[in-house]
Structure formats: structure tokens, C-alpha cells
Amino acid sequence: MNLLSKAKLGAKWNAISMLGSAALSILQISILARYLQPLDFGIFALLIVILSILSIFITVSISDVIIVKDNTTYEQLSTLYWLNAMLGIFIYILIFFSAPLLIYFNDYDQIILLLRVIGLSVIIGALGVQFRALMKRNLYLKELAFIDLFAHFCAFMLLVFLVLKDFGVWSLVFSTLLSQSITLFIFIIYATFFGWLPKFYFNIKTVIEMIHFGSHRIGSSLLHALFSRADQLTIGVVLGPIALGYYSIAFNLAMQPFLKINPVLTQVSFPIFSRIKNDNTMLKRGYRKGVRALTFINAPLLLGMLSIAPLFIPFFLGPGWDNSIIVLQFLCIYVLFRSITNINTGLILAKEKFRWPTYWNLFLVFLIPFTIIITAQVTNSLYFITFIVMMLEIILFIVAYFLFPRRLLGKFDYKYLSDIGRPILSASIMSLFVYILSKNMLINSQIIELTILILFGMFVYIILSFIIQRRHLDEFLEVTKSEL
């Protein structure tokens, strides 16, 4: 019960942080879209893809091994810290000297310097990843929520200032570095208080087993990062940076629920699943509850965004972004099914099936780019490519259920279908009502129209939840009523 209480408390504070961060992210995108061009978004998206892939080497391996191996000694933690720091420096050196290769794929005149500067975030991240992992392991999720939200707010303020001063794409670069630097500084303060600062000790022999565990996670997570970014990489290469800019801004908007809401649950579920992994009945109950929570929240947000996209894009992004409307609508459905399967990773790792994600992600790394390239050769259409990406995700969602949760937890097909089907059905009906209302409104003010549509959608979803998914609603209210 104490573990459950900590999980609920952590989830709530994590939710507060993520919702605040999501609001800042949407506002940030809205401001940037009025000052930057699709080309700028495409270039920055390409840089982020490169860094996110390389950062896997310094984040996942150390983080996961510390969470799973809760009996690590001070000497082992110190060795892991300095090993990760050296790895971060090595990766930055690799970035620095390989940056000129980008000129062969893109002739943007500042792309080399941009990559070299934003690449410093790899070193900063390497110095803080162990402290984040220790806070997660000890369920200091409330403190993590405050840190992340504060760092994001400071970075947002700097970004707005630099954008107004015509720094262009450099605004994104410097705000990213500030966010990471503030996070590291606060982590060091907490580490000093809890006695987590590493000592000058390094003995590689003491962490061989952990490195072996981490190597499996690096391979799996690297492949996961590649498949997660495969669509953007392939679109950028095949259709160019401008098309990538339209896709990227729609992708960022659609991914906000995934990036800000899913971690509320997944960051809690992994350590919880690891502790109850030997009780399959309890594990299945926890997994199903997680799936219900994810779908209950994500379905109305994403399908609601789909229905108001024709109004949302012009209002929040300004003129010139109409090409992103249909792309956003397809991606909302894509992200919905992707978000549900996100909890599978915690389940798989808790069951110590470390090779499974590697094989699965390896398959996806080849499948997704191949599908996009073939589609581009046939149609050369960003809309059709996005539609194919959406359909492919739906198929992969079905396949993933039979490969992972069904094999690990046993057969529960109808219960699983009910867990995800009821929220999707409720949200789909709500989305249809919102769309019909939007076509029959005669209001000249976009902000008033959007406000009415959002409030109407919330009202309809709540009513439908009482009728169609009362259990999901009760579980959501139970969490929100728990004490802060």
C-alpha cells in the first residue's frame, strides 16, 4: 500500500509537471511558427533526430541499470558516473568532427556550427543522467516534476526573448542548452543533499555485469530511437527540409500528449512493475490499469485535436502552415495507437526479456523507412506518406499486443479490447460531435470558436464516459482525488 501511495503521488506531481510543460511547448510552437520558416523547423528537427539517437548511449544504459539493480554500491555508482561522463565527451568529439558530413545532405549554411553547439547538450546530459535515475529509483517523482517544469519554463522565457531579438533557429539551440544546464545544476544540489555525488573512484571490473545489462538496453533503445525518428529522417532525405518542416511541426503538436502524459505513467510503471514482476496476477492488473489510464486521457486529446485541426493550425501557427492540417490529423491517430503500446517496454523489462525490444525495433528500423521510400517513389506526396505511416502504426499495434503483453501475461483479448475500445469509442463520438458543431458555427472570432468547441468536447466526453466507460472514469477520479 505504501508503494501504491508513492506511485499515485508521483504520478500526480508528474502529471502537473507534464501538463505545464505541454502548455509551454504548445505556446512555444505557436510563437516560433510566426517567426521561423518551415525550413528552420526542418533543420532543427534533423539536428534533434541526430542528437536523440546518439544520446541513447549515455541515457538509457545507466538509467535503466540503476533502476533495476537497486543494490548497487557507492563504488559501482561512482564508476558508472565517470564512465558515462567519458562516454558523453567521446560522443561530443565524434559530433564535432563529423558535423561537416551534414553538408553533403543539406546545404543550409549554418548547419555545421548549429550541430557543434547544440551537441554540447550531450555532455551536459551525461553528467546528470545518473542523478535522474537515482531519483526515479527512490520515487522522488514530485521533486523531478518541479525540476523539469522549472527548467522548461526558464528555457521558454529565454527562447521568447531570443526569437523577438531575431536569433532565428539559434533561439531553439540556446534554450535547449539552458534547460539542460539548469536541470544539471539542480540535480547536483539534490545529489549533494542525498549523498549521491560520485567519489574519485573508477574500477571497471565492479560494473561488468551492469555494462552487459546496459549493452542490451543500448541496442534496443538505439533501434527504438531509430524507428521512432525513421519517418522524419526518411522524409527529410526523400522530400527535403521544407516538407520535413511541415511534418515536424505537425508531429510535435500531435506528440505533446505522448511526450507529456505518457511519462506520467511510464516513469512510475517501470519501477513498480519491476517490484511486482513475480506476481503475474498483480502485474496483469497493473498493466491493464495503465493501459486504461493512457487511453482514457490520450484518446479525447488526440481525437479532439483531429476534429479542430482546421481551426487550430491557422490560429496557433498563423498563416503559411495549412499544409500541416491534414498531416496533423493523420498523426493524431498514429500517436494514439503508439501511446498505448508505450507501456509495453516497462512490462518487457520487468519480466527481464531484454532481447525482445531489440529484435522488435530492429524489424521496425527496416520496415518504416522502406515503406516510406516506396510510398514516396509512387506518390511523392507528404499527405499520402503520413497516411501510410498511420496505417502501419495501427497494424503494428495489433501485432505488438500478441507478441508482448499476451505472451507475458496470458490471454485477455476481450478485456484488453474493452480497456482500449471504450475510451476510443467515447472519444470518436465526441470528435464527430465537435466536428459537426464546428461546421455549423457562425462566429467570427477564432478564439471564441475554439474555446466553445473544446468546452463542448469536454462536456460530451464526460457524459459519454458515464455511459460507456464508467470504470475508466472512476479510476481517473480516484487518482486525481488522492492527496498531493
User: What pLDDT digit, counting tens, does each position of 357-371 carry?
Assistant: 778 888 888 888 889
Other CB atoms within 10 Å distance of the CB of residue 477? 10
Number of domains in the chain: 1
pLDDT for residue 264 = 65
| 130 to 22, 66, 137, 189, 387: CA distances (angstroms) | 25, 8, 10, 14, 39
Angle at 461 between CA 455 and CA 462, to 5 degrees: 90
Question: Average pLDDT, stretch 447-457?
Answer: 92
Predicted structure pTM score: 0.75
Select the highest-mean-pLDDT range: 55-59, 122-126, 211-215, 443-447.
Answer: 122-126
pLDDT of 6 over the 50 cut: yes
pLDDT for residue 117 = 93
Which residue shows C-alpha cell 543539406? Answer: 106
- Per DSSP (E only), the strands in 37-180 are none
> Radius of gyration over alpha carbons of the chain, in Å?
22
Which residue shows C-alpha cell 498523426? Answer: 331
b (16+ CB within 10 A) / e for 99-137: beebeeebebeebbebbebbbbbbbbbbbbbbbbbbbbb
With bands split at pLDDT 50, 70 and 90, how would you rate the model's confidence at 230?
A: confident
With bands split at pLDDT 50, 70 and 90, how would you rate the model's confidence at 483?
A: very low
Chain centroid to CA 28: 17
pLDDT of 266 over the 70 cut: no
pLDDT per residue as tens digits for the range 174-193: 999 999 999 999 999 999 99
Other CB atoms within 10 Å distance of the CB of residue 283? 20
b (16+ CB within 10 A) / e for 351-376: beebebbbebbbebbeebbebbeebb
State the cell numbers at 246: 511541415
pLDDT for residue 433 = 95
Other CB atoms within 10 Å distance of the CB of residue 38? 21
State the cell numbers at 315: 490560429
Contacts of residue 400, defined as CB under 8 A and 6 or more positions apart, other chains included, come to: 341, 344, 360
State the cell numbers at 15: 502529471
Between 120-137 and 74-98, two packed helices, what is the crossing angle to 10 degrees?
150
Q: Long-range pairs for 109-113 at CB < 8 Å and ≥24 separation?
A: 110/169, 111/43, 111/46, 111/47
Cα dihedral sign, 322-424-263-19: positive
Bigger pLDDT: 337 or 135? 337
> What is the C-alpha to C-alpha distance for residues 150 and 138, in angstroms, rounded to an integer?
21
State the cell numbers at 282: 498483480
Question: Average pLDDT, stretch 309-328?
Answer: 88
Question: Average pLDDT, stretch 413-423?
Answer: 91
Bigger pLDDT: 175 or 58? 175
| 351 to 22, 117, 166, 174, 233: CA distances (angstroms) | 32, 40, 51, 40, 32
- Which of 30-39, 208-217, 474-483 is the least confident region? 474-483
- The letter for the amino acid at 397 is F
pLDDT for residue 484 = 40
pLDDT per residue as tens digits for the range 206-219: 777 777 666 666 66
pLDDT for residue 1 = 47
> What is the C-alpha to C-alpha distance for residues 153 and 145, in angstroms, rounded to an integer?
12
pLDDT per residue as tens digits for the range 323-342: 889 999 999 999 999 988 88
pLDDT of 109 over the 60 cut: yes
> What is the C-alpha to C-alpha distance for residues 245 and 226, in angstroms, rounded to an integer?
19
With bands split at pLDDT 50, 70 and 90, how would you rate the model's confidence at 140?
A: confident
Domain span at residue 173 reads 2-481
The answer to whether 351 and 408 have CB atoms below 8 angstroms apart is yes
